[in-house]
Structure 1
Amino acid sequence: MAALNIILHEPEIPGNTGNIGRTCVATGTRLHLIEPLGFQLNDKTVKRAGMDYWDQLDVTRYDDWNDFLERNPGAKIYYATTKGKHVYSDVSFEPDCFIMFGKESAGIPEEILVEHPEECIRIPMIGETRSLNLSNSVAIVLYEALRQNHFDHMKLEGELHRLHW
């Protein structure tokens, strides 16, 4: 079973983190939060955006980037950045890989990116568009990774209920 992982490096906006948490619950994805956060995790905005799903979220917090690396040795990580050489849909996401996103105001620190240029991926955009919203970016890349893993463990069909007039 695919068990994908989303890493948020120093997220700043509680609503984005709440929305990402809800997406992780809906997809069976683990969320990893690297401190410092720009808000308190008990913030009403996070819980409101995550709605009543927050208590179902598989979430781990880390003191900093080094703490993450120490607790996840050998993790295969893709770095979502506007500086990436590869389009996110052109890489093959392994079932247990990690996909990292940086803080809303600055992205992933350059010193991390330069150590992993081949794992840097980007979402194509037109012209000089600076970036997409963080929660939208996570959803775009995560669903591609899920698609590549055949939406393992996910409900693939809905059911219409015919209304009788």
Structure 2
Amino acid sequence: MIDPNKVGSKIASYRKDLALTQDDLANRLNVTRQALSKWETGLSLPSIEGIVSLCQLFKVPVEDLLCLNETSKIEESNLFLNHSRDYVVNQICKGAVEINIPDTLYLFSPIERLQILKAIKEHKITCNLSQLRVKLTTSEVKYVFNSLPKGGRKP
């Protein structure tokens, strides 16, 4: 998955390496400075045409601009440092990041919590269910534990 924050940092870094302002680069790409600012802050990603233009201008391969060959370390002590929330949640749900879910669940929005709980329910990730249960809302308990065998244990 592409992390918009990392891509944005790359775009800003390459722009600065060429001594261009946001206005300069935006003009070269025929986009607004506000659109470029959103890319650099990770709020959005460039279109395919924008990515191609950026790669040509910066003289870098697409894989480099989109950080596709980079591994990113997500630290449990600061999950969202240099990463978008969506990227972090997806990495957790894929099991690519090991965290203590009961201890960190409070950091997530209700929708993000549901994504994580779905991954647990579908056995994509595991955690201590007895520790988790006390951290959940009533509806979250019903969602997770109604599908598990009696006693709340996985088969």
Fold-level similarity (TM above 0.5): no
Which structure has greater strand proportion?
A: 1
TM-score, structure 2 length as denominator? Answer: 0.23
TM-score, structure 1 length as denominator? Answer: 0.22
Which structure has greater helix proportion?
A: 2
Structure of higher RCO (CA pairs closer than 8 Å, 6+ residues apart) = 1
Which structure has the larger Rg? 2
